[in-house]
Structure 1
Amino acid sequence: MTAPSEAQRLQRLHALGILDTPGDDLFRGLAEQALGVVPGTTIAAVSLVDAERQWFKTIIGLGAKETSRAVSFCSHTIETEDCMVVEDATKDERFANNPLVTSAPAIRFYAGIRLAGGVGALCVIGTSPRRIRPGEIEKLSKIAQYVDIQLLSHGVLANVMEPKA
């Protein structure tokens, strides 16, 4: 399956009706599970990528609610069908000069799974370089499938409950 066009992707994202909504325990629990899959990671997020920003439906290990899309690792993840892995961000030309690498939170390791429709990513992040194992990718992919189900449920409910003009 190919990545959707940017217009289609943004349409799907906005149809979910989830941007800027409060966090909830379900998404937090899925992020916690993802964090437990990859040893040495300290940050996990369900990240939704809008036109100009990356917004976190939930994030563990970092106080931000959003970042600029320009510095977002997840912005790259939504363009791939595989798990995007950055073993050492200081050695990756896409990220070596990224402010999220050169200053706090000093990202070194990143693994992200694109969510359905390319609306965002489930990701785990660490401050030390590392390699990911195939079993870890499989487990992250399974958790991402549950995130997709929750996003779809939310979108269906939002569209049903939204008054028609």
Structure 2
Amino acid sequence: TKNPPHRPYTLLPMNSKGIIVGEIILGYELEFSIDGSTLAVGGYDLVRDFGFVKVYDVRELFYVDCTVEKPEKIGNGFCDVNEPYYSEECGYDGGDCGFPVLVEGYDNCMVPEPTFIGNGFCYVDGVLPFSSEQCGFDGGDCPIPSPVEGYPNCLVS
């Protein structure tokens, strides 16, 4: 396999017989802006023999305000309705879950699956947003939290 002379570490997309199997090398060069708000990704079109640069807004590309224990769960193909994974900051689990839907009868209750509210089961042991005051504590399926004596900011179900 031959590399461009000025980029000895960039391998061309060729198979074992030396035939080019891809027409574009993407990620030829990567560069962040000084403030980190944009990412420039350079590439090379092998067929047309020219380079190109695509500039991305980092806030649209990544979930920069999403803080989770296991970031690999974001966008892994499985909907995790637990907060903070299921939040606007985390792109509703990186697009794995649908956008929240307003539950009829609850003015501020937005959940991915409205049929789970008031279906007779406390959804996932009181997980937000289902077991919240806005959702009527899962439509009455979950116990209402009560304060712990001596701990005014501690509520348990």
| Greater C-alpha Rg | 2
TM-score (norm 1): 0.22
Structure with greater proportional helix content: 1
TM-score (norm 2): 0.23
Could you say which structure has the greater relative contact order, defined with CA pairs below 8 angstroms and 6 or more residues apart?
1
